[in-house]
Structure 1
Amino acid sequence: MSDLQALENWVGPLLERLSDSERRKLAVTVAKSLRASSVASMRAQQSPGGDPWAPRKQPKRNLRGAIRRAAQESKAGMQMFTGLRSAAYLKAQGSASEAVLGFVARVQRIARVHHFGLPDRVNMGGPVYQYPARELLGITAPQIECVRDLIIVHLGR
């Protein structure tokens, strides 16, 4: 987080010179950029830092159709969170004072359970399962560099 604090200290005086509408435009651009990198890491099935997620647990099934299922699983890669990473649920917003990236509505609870590895019910009224932690959102050093570049480009206009 010290890199993030250093970025804030560096950019603070520069942003004070901008008007509210310019700061809002910059915040929206930064939030959209962070959203794109978060979606890319979710699509790659890894945390923002690059660590792979724990594999998805699949129920034991009978052998009928096992060959077809195995082919589909290897082809699809057993993608997780395909709905969560859509723009309808992962919102990127900006205002004159902040850039926000977060999940909305009921999806926010689901994302929190998976992000922190909390226990939750599999189905309504079903058994409780301890989900493994799969970090969905975060900021890394390359993302901070990207934010710096966006700010420099925006100020250079």
Structure 2
Amino acid sequence: MSDDFDQLQDWASDLLTRLQPVERRKLTRQIATQLRKSQAKRIAEQLNPDGTAYAPRANRLRKKQGRIKRTMFNRLRTARHLKAESDASEARVGFSGRDARIAQQHQEGSAPRLPRRQLLGFVQAERESIKSKLIEILSK
């Protein structure tokens, strides 16, 4: 996955230097917001970046018929918790504080009896949308 972004960075770095810092900040803000929305949508669908479903919740959280009371990460995927930040040189999407600790435990599956559920990660559609956004802005 990092190889794709290394290639994207190499391809876009020369083109981005042509933009003024104000235009680069605007572009990175748009990309960060777009990524936050797509990550939140994928978390709501309860899918890992590779397309597999999250590991099911513990049985104690199920109702009589075996259905889940509520989906996981309802609050964590909101804009209040899933932050999109940017400046002229980078766009960041992630969690902070207590939210970051909770997300990291699920991302890595590090806590005992906690299966791995990747909250953050890039899918091919996001890579393509970043490329198209760069092309759109640079072609103006």
Structure 1 length-normalised TM: 0.81
Match of 1:15 in 2: 16
Match of 1:57 in 2: 58
8 Å contact 1:111–1:136 — kept in the other structure?
yes
Supply the AA of the counterpart residue of 1:29: Q
Match of 1:92 in 2: 84
Q: CA deviation at 1:49?
A: 1.8
What stretches of structure 1 of length at least 5 have no aligned partner? Answer: 120-128
Match of 1:80 in 2: 72
**Greater percentage in strand:** 1
RMSD between aligned residues: 1.9
Supply the AA of the counterpart residue of 1:88: R
Distance 2:61 2:113 in 1: 18
Supply the AA of the counterpart residue of 1:30: I
* CA separation of 1:22 and 1:57: change in aligned 2, threshold 3 A: same
User: Does the alignment pair 1:33 with 2:34?
Assistant: yes
Q: CA deviation at 1:58?
A: 2.9
Match of 1:106 in 2: 98
Q: Which of structure 1's runs of 4+ aligned residues deviate more than 4 A?
A: none
How many residues of Structure 1 are paired with residues of Structure 2 in the alignment?
139
* CA separation of 1:17 and 1:60: change in aligned 2, threshold 3 A: closer
Question: Equivalent residue of 1:48, what SS?
Answer: coil
Bigger radius of gyration, 1 or 2? 1
Distance 2:61 2:15 in 1: 57
